[in-house]
Amino acid sequence: MDRKIDMLKRILDESKYTVALCGSGIMEEAGFVGLKNQNRAYEIEKKYNDSPEEIFTSVYYTTRPEKFFEFYKKELLEGLPGPTESGAALAAMEREGKLQYMITANIYEQGQRAGCHNVINLHGSVYKNKCLHCGREYSMEYVRDAKGIPVCEMCGGAIRPEVALFGEMVDSRLMRDTCTEIERAEVLLVLGTTLDSEVFGSYIRYFNGKYLVVIHQREHHSDGKADLVIIDQPRNVLCKLGYK
């Protein structure tokens, strides 16, 4: 393990452009379990009589807004995950010029809250909400604390969280920026997810750099495509690199 960490340190020190893809394993460091987790999905379906794949959709938001926001506020806005050790380590890498961009699919801005500045939140953010009628922006707290369905103070229009709901296309600008950063990378770090993940698999094919590095907890059949694989929690590895 120490040999692999030394190898990773050398790769990062020599790289002129490093990009990190942060998967669900990073969010789970903060104790947050995603909606697609089998056990959590089962509990949600028992509670709401619909699965998260049904509720967390634009159709449900449009046709059953009361129940959508009941679910959204309870399941996604209560107990927000905070910064993680991995996030702090990535912020230290950015400060030392060893990380140029962080790309994440979680919707909680964990990268920014850990101190990273160059972050693409591919699936949006719970901290950004907008009136669909007049475009007025609202905070996460406004949505969370609203009684029932949050509506615009100015025009009474419906407020929509700026997150990608299940089945929706990712914002085209964010997709383009993600592809651009991956194409620019000499080193691509894949953290807390796999090379053929549902979220990142189609983007990783744009990588044509020197080193593809995977750090995650469990071995996976796609690991053989990487130049370096470390089976461990990302925080355990990143914190040993020594960046301050």
pLDDT for residue 160: 98
* pTM for the full predicted model: 0.93
pLDDT for residue 1: 64
Quick one: 33 exposed, middle or buried, by C-beta within 10 A (0-12, 13-18, 19+)?
middle
Catalytic residue set: 123
Say which CATH topology domain 1-32+83-123+169-244 has. Answer: Rossmann fold (3.40.50)
Evaluate whether 25 touches 214 at the Cβ level (below 8 Å). no
Q: Which residue has the tokens 């996976």?
A: 220
Evaluate whether 61 touches 161 at the Cβ level (below 8 Å). no
Segments making up each domain of the chain, as ranges? 1-32+83-123+169-244
Q: What is the DSSP string of 78-123?
A: TT-----HHHHHHHHHHHTTS--EEEE--SS-HHHHHT--SEEETT
Neighbours of 234 (CB within 10 A): 29
Evaluate whether 78 touches 229 at the Cβ level (below 8 Å). no
Q: What is the pLDDT along the chain (244 residues), one digit of tens a residue?
A: 689 999 999 999 999 999 999 998 888 888 888 898 899 999 999 999 999 999 999 999 999 999 999 999 999 999 888 888 999 999 999 999 999 999 999 899 989 999 999 999 999 999 999 999 999 999 999 999 999 999 999 999 999 999 999 999 999 999 999 999 999 999 999 999 999 998 999 999 999 999 999 999 999 999 999 999 999 999 999 999 999 8
pLDDT for residue 21: 97
Query: Which is nearest to 48 in space by CA: 71, 75, 28, 81?
Result: 71
